[in-house]
Amino acid sequence: MKYSPKQMKEQLEKKEFGFKKKFGQNFIVDENIINSIISKADITKDCMVIEIGPGAGSLTYKLAASAKQVLCYEIDTTLQNVLEENLKDLKNVDIIYQDFLEANVKQDLANYKFEKLYVVANLPYYITTPIIIKLIEDEIPVDKIVVMVQKEVGNRFKAHPGSKDYSSLSVYLNYYFEISKLLDVSRNIFIPKPNVDSIVVEFKRKESTYQLNDSQLFFQLVRDSFRQKRKTLRNNLKHYDLSLVETVLNEYHYDLSVRAEQLSIEIFVAIANRLSKKK
Ligand code: SAM
C-alpha cells in the first residue's frame, strides 16, 4: 500500500487517473493521520465498517486490518483498477461502485453478520450533510460514525438552540448521537491540497432521553419547521394542525410566533408525539 505523496501520485499517474473536483477527491497521504483515525475510532474485530469513498484505498487498507469486514461505496469507477491493485491481498473488503446517496444500504448489509456497525470515512465535502442525513433517515443501525469533514461544517454539527448554526440537522444529530471532535487535520496531508482545514468528528449513538412515537413524522416536522429559517412556525407549519402545535408550544411558554432555531429537541419531540397521536 502506498502512502507517500510521491508514490501515490506516481501510481495514479501511471494509471492515468485524474482527480475529480466534482467528487470531492482529496486523498490522504499521511499514514500517521490514518493511524490516529483508526485508533480513535476504536475499531475491533467484531466491527463491520462502512466506508464512503475509499479513493485510492489508504484508509480502507488499515480499516480492513482492524475490523471484521469493510464495505465501501465508491462513485468513481475509474478508481476500480487502483483499488484492485492496492487492496488485492485483503479478503474482508467489498466495494460497491455506486453513488452512496442512491444505495440501499440496509439491503446491502443483509449479506453480512456483525455485532457492531461503524461508519468511518474521509467524506467528500460536497455531500457531507446529505450523507449524514441519509444514515439517519434510512435508519441504518450505526453504533458510531467517525468522519473527516471540513472544519466549519464539523463545528456546526454541535450547534445549540439560539445559535446561528442551529438547524434541522443539529436537531436530528443531537437527538441520536453524542458528538465530539477527535482530531484537527491540516490541509497539507491531502493530494490535491484543499482550501480548508478539516476535523475528525465522532458521533456515538446514545440512548435518547426522549421517546419518539413516529420518527418519520419527527423528521418531517423538523425539516418543515426550518424550511425558511427566518420565518415563524405559524408560516412554516401552515399545513399542520396549528392549534395542536400551539397547545404544545404554550406548555413550553412559546407561541406560534417562535422560530424553529429557538426550540430545543425536547419541544420538537413533544410536538411530533402529539401530532402522531392524532393521526
Ligand atoms: N478515502 C480516501 C482518502 O481518504 O484518501 C478518499 C477520500 S475523498 C475526500 C472522497 C471520496 O469519495 C472519493 O474517492 C470520491 O470519489 C468518493 N465519492 C464522492 N462522491 C461519492 C458518492 N456520492 N458516493 C460514493 N463515493 C463518493
Q: In this structure, how many other beta carbons lie within 10 angstroms of the beta carbon of residue 238?
A: 10
Say if 39 falls within a structural domain: yes
CA distances to 114, 118, 157, 224, 225 from 228, rounded to whole Å, are 41, 33, 19, 8, 8
Say how many domains are in the chain. 2
Say if 161 falls within a structural domain: yes
pTM of the model: 0.88
Section 122-135 average pLDDT: 94
Q: Is 100 in the pocket of ligand 1 (CB under 6 A)?
A: yes
CA distances to 104, 138, 189, 237 from 107, rounded to whole Å, are 6, 11, 35, 34
Say if 115 falls within a structural domain: yes
Cα 113 to ligand 1 centre (Å): 25
Cell numbers linked to 227: 424550511
Per-residue buried b or exposed e for 82-114, using 16+ beta carbons within 10 Å of the residue's own CB: bbeebbeebeebebeeeebeebebeeebeeeee
- pLDDT at residue 167 is higher than 70: yes
d(CA 13, CA 17): 6
Which residue's CA is the nearest one to ligand 1's atom 18? 53
* 4, 25, 108: residue to mutate for ligand 1 pocket, most atoms within 8 A of CB: 25
Say if 210 falls within a structural domain: no
Q: Is 17 in the pocket of ligand 1 (CB under 6 A)?
A: no
Q: How many residues does the chain have?
A: 279
pLDDT band at 4 (very low <50, low <70, confident <90, very high): confident
pLDDT, residue 194, reads 95
pLDDT, residue 1, reads 67
- pLDDT at residue 5 is higher than 60: yes
- Cβ distance 145 to 135 under 8 Å? yes
Say if 157 falls within a structural domain: yes
pLDDT, residue 278, reads 74
pLDDT, residue 72, reads 98
Which residue's CA is the nearest one to ligand 1's atom 1? 54
Q: Is 95 in the pocket of ligand 1 (CB under 6 A)?
A: no
Task: Give the position, in ligand 1's atom list, of the atom nearest the Cα of 190.
Answer: 5
> Who wins on pLDDT, 247 or 9?
247
Q: Which residue has the cell 466549519?
A: 152
d(CA 260, CA 44): 40
Cell numbers linked to 189: 496531508
Cα 174 to ligand 1 centre (Å): 25
Is the domain of 98 the same as that of 232? no
Cα 221 to ligand 1 centre (Å): 31
Domain boundary among 172, 205, 238: 205
Domain boundary among 173, 205, 237: 205
- pLDDT at residue 232 is higher than 60: yes
- pLDDT at residue 160 is higher than 60: yes
Task: Give the position, in ligand 1's atom list, of the atom nearest the Cα of 29.
Answer: 5
Section 244-269 average pLDDT: 96
Cα 13 to ligand 1 centre (Å): 18
Bridge partners for 145 per DSSP: 119, 203
Bridge partners for 149 per DSSP: 199
Is the domain of 187 the same as that of 87? yes
Which residue's CA is the nearest one to ligand 1's atom 3? 27
Section 146-154 average pLDDT: 93
Q: Is 3 in the pocket of ligand 1 (CB under 6 A)?
A: no
**CATH assignment of the domain containing 170:** 3.40.50.150
Say if 128 falls within a structural domain: yes
pLDDT band at 122 (very low <50, low <70, confident <90, very high): very high
Which residue's CA is the nearest one to ligand 1's atom 10? 124
* Domain that includes residue 37, residue range: 5-205
